[in-house]
């Protein structure tokens, strides 16, 4: 992870000033994601759903779950991106027109952010288009700043590619090698390859950015990321590749029921859910009020229970739906819980009773009142036809509507994340035992 390899120092040699370790840095460490709304190749790319999670949501979750930052920010010039950022719990730096032009640089935006936030001593510029970034990458890279005294750290990936350059000799267009001798082409195992910036993140101190006007400099080191994590979305063709990569076991990550066997999955059931969907199971009371649950949804809920996850169905409008409670239990074989106008209060009580954290909860809701629970839960989702506030607060975007298979979609997402987290835990254990 160090920027360069050094030979053995001479005995009693005095290290150069740039190589002397500095004292442990203390101060305010901030994560900053730059996310404009003016992407030309993919409109509003930064909040477009990728495998059910907004693109910026992937890196926000990595920053938040690392637990290393005193504050997490999104710098944007767009209202919708601001809403998504706040739904993840991030703060928003509303950038000025001066740094929102096509010609504006990332450095200018970061400098403006630091001027407005003088308490920040170290900033990590995280690229919004790097969805495979893992919390451990940020955690380990930051140690080089806070514990080892480096001024800047940036992410790289090791590539094994031979490069050639264009050479024009008169009217001829020729080429010459840049990093190899064609007469002695090395085997891959005999070559260390080259370190290439992958753009995922750049850590730098305030002094380096404000006084020297750069993100890389001073006592500088790199952090090497695995090729499978070095994903950057630039154009349309990158999107399906990135979507497959984040779903690959051991690459993605998540909080919530994925990393525990004692999680609680809550689903909000409303009488307004679609009752005409093919495959739906209907129940209607004597006053004409009905609840519709898709047959695949009920299968999904049972699948969660078979995976040792407790499932609780939440129903509101107590006076209207009280007599539906028994029918719902019979239809789904799940615990049914009545909640008031603000479900957060009742769900919070349940979370405390089960001795869980909100990160251990997967929550699905369809109305505006569910937004607070959707925001707090480790995993959350809203049906495609849910209230806009619920959709914005959810971390997973369902393609199906209420009563039409949305629950099944979310169940599959929850179980996939659970599997990936278990694989990651095994890998972390292997890594710890290797060192």
pLDDT digit string, tens, across residues 249-276: 555 554 333 333 434 555 554 433 333 3
Strand, coil or helix: what is 111?
helix
Q: Maximum Cα–Cα distance for the chain, whole Å?
A: 91
Residue with the larger pLDDT of the pair 209 and 388: 209
Task: List phi, psi (to 5°) of 8.
Answer: -65, 130
Average pLDDT, integer, range 164-170:
86
Mean pLDDT, residues 304-308:
73
The pLDDT value given to residue 254: 43
Q: What pLDDT was estimated at residue 25?
A: 64
Record the pTM: 0.61
Query: What is the mean predicted confidence (pLDDT) over 352-359?
Result: 81
422 included as an active-site residue: no
What is the per-residue pLDDT for 317?
A: 58
| Predicted confidence (pLDDT) at residue 340 exceeds the cutoff of 80 | no
pLDDT of residue 434: 52
Q: Is the pLDDT of residue 203 over 60?
A: yes
Best CATH choice for the domain 256-420 from the list 3.40.50.720, 3.50.30.10, 3.40.50.1000, 3.30.70.380: 3.40.50.1000
Q: Which of 67-81, 243-257, 414-428 holds the top average pLDDT?
A: 67-81
Q: Is the pLDDT of residue 309 over 60?
A: yes
Identify the active-site residue in 94, 101, 159, 185.
185
Cα angle 88-94-100, degrees, rounded to a multiple of 5: 120
* 360-404: pLDDT as tens digits: 788 888 888 888 888 888 888 888 888 888 888 888 878 877 767
In this prediction, residue 267 carries a pLDDT of 55
What beta strand segments (E) does 49-185 contain? Answer: 49-50, 53-54, 71-76, 91-94, 120-127, 152-159, 164-169, 172-177
Decide if pLDDT at 103 tops 60: yes
Instruction: In whole angstroms, give the CA distance from residue 209 to residue 24.
Output: 19
Nearest to 309, CA basis, from 370, 379, 392: 379
Model confidence over 313-331: pLDDT tens digits? 777 655 444 444 444 444 4
How many percent of the chain have pLDDT more than 70? 73
Determine the pLDDT at residue 59. 93
* pLDDT for the residue 410: 83
Report, as an integer, the average pLDDT of 137-166. 94
Q: Which of the four pLDDT bands, split at 50, 70 and 90, describes residue 245? A: confident
The mean per-residue pLDDT over the stretch 236-244 comes to 83
pLDDT band at 295, cuts 50/70/90?
low
Going from the C-alpha of 297 to that of each of 293, 325, 338, 403, the distances in angstroms are: 7, 17, 20, 8
At 248 the pLDDT is 65
Measure CA of the first residue to CA of the last residue in the chain; give whole Å: 15
What CATH number belongs to 18-246? 3.90.550.10
> In percent, how much of the chain has pLDDT > 90?
31
Q: Does residue 8 have a pLDDT over 90? A: no
In the predicted model, what is the mean pLDDT of residues 272-299?
Answer: 46
pLDDT per residue as tens digits for the range 85-100: 988 889 999 999 888 8
Q: Residue ranges of the domains in the chain?
A: 18-246, 256-420
Q: What mean pLDDT do residues 331-346 have?
A: 73
């Amino acid at each position: 992870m160090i920027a360069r390899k050094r030979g053995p120092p001479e005995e009693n040699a005095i290290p150069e000033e740039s190589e002397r370790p500095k004292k442990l840095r203390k101060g305010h460490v901030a994560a900053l994601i730059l996310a404009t709304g003016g992407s030309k190749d993919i409109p509003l790319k930064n909040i477009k759903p990728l495998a059910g999670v907004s693109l910026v949501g992937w890196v926000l979750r990595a920053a938040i779950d690392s637990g290393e930052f005193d504050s997490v920010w999104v710098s944007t010039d767009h209202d919708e991106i601001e809403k998504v950022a706040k739904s993840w719990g991030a703060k928003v730096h509303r950038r000025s027109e001066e740094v929102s032009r096509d010609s504006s640089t990332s450095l200018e935006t970061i400098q403006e952010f630091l001027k407005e936030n003088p308490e920040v001593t170290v900033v990590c510029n995280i690229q919004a288009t790097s969805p495979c970034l893992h919390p451990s990458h940020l955690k380990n890279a930051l140690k080089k700043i806070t514990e080892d005294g480096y001024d800047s750290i940036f992410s790289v990936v090791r590539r094994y590619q031979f490069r050639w350059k264009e050479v024009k000799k008169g009217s001829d267009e020729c080429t010459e090698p840049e990093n190899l001798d064609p007469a002695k082409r090395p085997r891959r195992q005999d070559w260390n390859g080259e370190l290439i910036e992958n753009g995922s993140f750049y850590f730098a101190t305030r002094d380096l950015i404000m006084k020297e006007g750069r993100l890389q400099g001073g006592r500088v080191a790199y952090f090497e990321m695995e090729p499978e994590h070095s994903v950057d979305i630039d154009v349309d063709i990158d999107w399906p590749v990135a979507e497959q990569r984040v779903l690959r076991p051991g690459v993605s990550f998540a909080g919530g029921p994925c990393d525990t066997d004692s999680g609680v999955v809550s689903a909000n059931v409303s009488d307004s859910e679609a009752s005409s969907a093919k495959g739906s199971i209907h129940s209607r009371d004597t006053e004409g009020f009905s609840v519709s649950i898709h047959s695949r949804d009920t299968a999904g809920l049972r699948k969660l229970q078979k995976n040792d996850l407790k499932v609780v169905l939440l129903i509101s409008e107590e006076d209207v739906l009280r007599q539906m409670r028994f029918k719902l239990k019979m239809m789904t074989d799940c615990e049914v819980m009545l909640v008031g106008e603000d479900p957060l209060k009742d769900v919070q009580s349940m979370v405390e009773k089960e001795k869980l954290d909100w990160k251990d909860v997967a929550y699905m809701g369809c109305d505006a009142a569910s937004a607070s629970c959707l925001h707090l839960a480790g995993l959350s989702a809203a049906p495609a036809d849910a209230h806009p506030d619920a959709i914005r607060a959810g971390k997973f975007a369902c393609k199906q509507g209420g009563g039409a298979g949305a629950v099944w979609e979310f169940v599959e997402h929850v179980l996939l994340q659970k599997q990936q987290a278990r694989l990651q835990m095994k890998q972390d254990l292997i890594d710890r035992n290797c060192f």
